[in-house]
C-alpha cells in the first residue's frame, strides 16, 4: 500500500498537468514551487543529457534525420447514438483530428507560411513529424482513430488515467497514445514525462499503460468541430503536452526563476497566464529580461505560440535516444506511408475474410478527397468526403457492398483513381 501511495505521488509530481479554462487562462495543477526531489530528478536527467552530448559529439552532427512518430487517437465518448461530429459531441470528427495533425506538423517543423513559422535566430525546426498509425497492434490496417463509447460523462486527470487505458490502449513502445475525452474541472490535458533507466541513472518511470497524453476534445484541433470557442482552440495544447512527453520542461522550470535547462530560453519568474500577446518581463538574479511568451512550453494563448528553440530541440533529440521506451517507439515507427507526387490508391486485401476492406490512399500532402462505392449498375452505394486528409488507410465495411464486383472511385481536386472491390 505504501508503494502504491508513493508511486501515485511521484506520478502526480512528475507528470505535467495543465489545466485550462476556455474563458479564463491556462494554468497548471502542480504547485509552482515543485518539491526538491522532482527538481533533483530533472537535474540528474540533464546531467545525463550533457554527458550524452559529449559522448556522441551530438551538437556537431550535420545531418539530422526527420523523426516520425505514429499516433493513435482513442476517442472516449458517451454518445450512445455513435454519431460522429457536431456541436458538443465528444465523438469528434475525423476532420477535427486531421486539423490537429496539421498543427503538430506545422509547429514541430516550423513550416513557412503557417502560424508556426518564426524568424527568431534561436527558433528551431524540431524535425519531428506525426502521422496517424496505419497498422494496429494486430498488424491489421487502421485509421489511427479508435472510437469507444463509455457511459461516463467526464474523466479526472488525476484519478482516471488507468481507467482510460483500460478502455483503450496500444503498446506505448510502438505508438503515442492520445486519449481524447471530456475532462473534469476544466482541465485540458496532461502528458507523461519520459523516465526509465538511463544507462545507470534510474529515474522513476511511469507505467507503460498510461504513457501518453490525455486531452479534452474542446482543445483538440484548430477552430473546428468542438474546438471553436476560446483562445485555446488552435491546437497548441497538444503541441505543449507532447513537448512534455518528449522531455521538455516549462520555460520557468516550475519554480520562481527556475531553469528548463535550455540556455536560449530567457529566465522567467513564472508561467505567463495572459491571453493576450503583450510583452512580459522578469527580473531574475537582478537582471531584467523579456519572457519568451511565444514558446510552446509557456502558458500563453495559442495565438501567441510559435517557437521551439535550438536548445529545446537538442534536449528532445537526446532524450529520444537515451530514453529506452521513446527510442524503441521510434525504432518501431516503420508504419509510415511513402510520400508521393500523385494520387495513389491500393486495395490491401480483396477478397478478405475480415469485416472491412482496407484501402491505402496516398496523397502528396494534405488533400480533400472524395471516395464513392459504386455497384455494377452504376448506383452509388455510399459517398464520403475527407477534408484536408493526409495519406491514410480507410476501412470499407463489407456490409455496404453489393455482391460481386464493386468499384471504388477516389477523387482529389485534380485526379481520379478507380479500383475494384470484390464481395463474395
User: How far apart, in whole angstroms, are the C-alpha atoms of residue 89 and residue 50?
Assistant: 46
Q: Per DSSP, which regions of 93-157 are E strands?
A: 128-132, 145-149
Task: Please indicate whether residue 241 is annotated as part of the active site.
Answer: yes
Residue 65, Cβ density class (10 Å: 0-12 exposed, 13-18 middle, ≥19 buried): exposed
Backbone angles phi, psi at 323, to 5 degrees: -85, 115
**DSSP letter for each residue of 308-332:** -BHHHHHHHHHHHHHSHHHHHHHHH
Place of cell 509530481: 13
Q: Which of 95, 106, 192, 241 is catalytic?
A: 241
**DSSP letter for each residue of 143-185:** -SEEEEE-S-S-B-TTT-HHHHHHHS---TTT-EEEEEEPBST
User: How far apart, in whole angstroms, are the C-alpha atoms of residue 239 and residue 245?
Assistant: 10
User: How far apart, in whole angstroms, are the C-alpha atoms of residue 424 and residue 403?
Assistant: 6
Task: Return all residues near 139 (Cβ < 8 A) that are at least 6 apart.
Answer: none
Task: Return all residues near 81 (Cβ < 8 A) that are at least 6 apart.
Answer: none
User: How far apart, in whole angstroms, are the C-alpha atoms of residue 109 and residue 129?
Assistant: 7
Place of cell 502504491: 4
User: How far apart, in whole angstroms, are the C-alpha atoms of residue 166 and residue 237?
Assistant: 24
User: How far apart, in whole angstroms, are the C-alpha atoms of residue 239 and residue 304?
Assistant: 13
3-state secondary structure of 12: helix
Place of cell 461530429: 85
- Assess contact for 393 and 346: CB atoms under 8 A: no
Active site residues: 241
Amino acid at each position: 500500500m505504501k508503494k502504491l501511495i508513493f508511486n501515485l505521488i511521484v506520478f502526480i509530481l512528475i507528470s505535467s498537468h495543465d489545466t485550462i479554462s476556455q474563458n479564463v487562462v491556462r494554468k497548471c495543477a502542480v504547485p509552482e514551487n515543485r518539491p526538491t526531489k522532482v527538481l533533483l530528478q530533472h537535474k540528474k536527467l540533464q546531467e545525463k543529457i550533457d554527458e550524452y552530448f559529449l559522448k556522441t559529439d551530438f551538437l556537431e552532427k550535420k545531418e539530422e534525420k526527420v523523426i516520425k512518430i505514429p499516433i493513435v487517437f482513442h476517442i472516449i465518448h458517451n454518445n450512445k447514438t455513435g454519431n460522429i461530429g457536431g456541436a458538443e459531441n465528444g465523438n469528434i470528427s475525423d476532420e477535427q483530428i486531421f486539423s490537429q495533425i496539421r498543427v503538430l506538423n506545422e509547429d514541430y517543423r516550423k513550416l513557412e507560411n503557417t502560424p508556426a513559422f518564426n524568424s527568431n535566430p534561436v527558433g528551431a525546426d524540431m524535425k519531428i513529424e506525426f502521422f496517424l498509425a496505419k497498422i494496429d497492434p494486430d498488424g491489421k490496417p487502421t485509421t489511427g482513430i479508435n472510437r469507444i463509447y463509455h457511459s461516463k460523462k467526464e474523466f479526472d486527470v488525476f484519478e482516471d488515467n488507468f481507467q482510460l487505458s483500460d478502455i483503450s490502449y496500444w503498446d506505448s513502445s510502438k505508438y503515442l497514445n492520445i486519449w481524447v475525452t471530456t475532462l473534469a474541472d476544466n482541465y485540458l490535458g496532461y502528458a507523461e514525462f519520459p523516465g526509465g533507466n538511463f544507462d545507470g541513472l534510474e529515474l522513476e518511470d511511469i507505467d507503460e499503460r498510461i504513457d501518453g497524453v490525455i486531452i479534452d476534445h474542446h482543445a483538440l484541433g484548430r477552430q473546428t468541430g468542438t474546438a471553436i470557442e476560446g483562445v485555446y482552440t488552435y491546437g497548441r495544447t497538444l503541441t505543449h503536452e507532447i513537448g512534455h512527453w518528449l522531455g521538455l520542461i516549462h520555460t520557468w522550470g516550475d519554480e520562481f526563476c527556475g531553469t528548463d535547462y535550455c540556455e536560449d530560453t530567457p529566465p522567467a519568474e513564472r508561467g505567463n497566464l495572459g491571453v493576450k500577446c503583450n510583452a512580459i518581463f522578469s527580473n531574475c538574479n537582478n537582471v531584467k529580461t523579456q519572457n519568451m511568451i511565444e514558446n510552446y512550453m509557456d502558458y500563453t494563448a495559442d495565438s501567441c505560440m510559435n517557437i521551439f528553440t535550438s536548445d529545446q530541440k537538442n534536449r528532445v533529440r537526446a532524450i529520444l535516444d537515451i530514453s529506452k521506451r521513446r527510442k524503441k517507439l521510434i525504432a518501431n515507427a516503420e508504419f509510415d506511408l511513402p510520400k508521393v507526387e500523385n494520387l495513389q490508391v491500393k486495395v490491401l486485401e480483396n477478397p478478405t475474410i475480415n469485416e472491412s476492406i482496407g484501402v491505402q490512399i496516398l496523397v502528396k500532402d494534405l488533400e480533400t478527397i472524395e471516395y464513392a462505392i459504386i455497384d455494377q449498375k452504376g448506383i452509388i452505394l455510399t459517398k464520403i468526403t475527407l477534408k484536408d486528409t493526409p495519406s491514410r488507410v480507410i476501412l470499407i465495411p463489407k456490409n455496404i457492398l453489393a455482391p460481386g464486383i464493386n468499384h471504388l472511385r477516389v477523387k482529389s481536386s485534380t485526379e481520379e483513381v478507380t479500383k475494384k472491390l470484390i464481395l463474395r
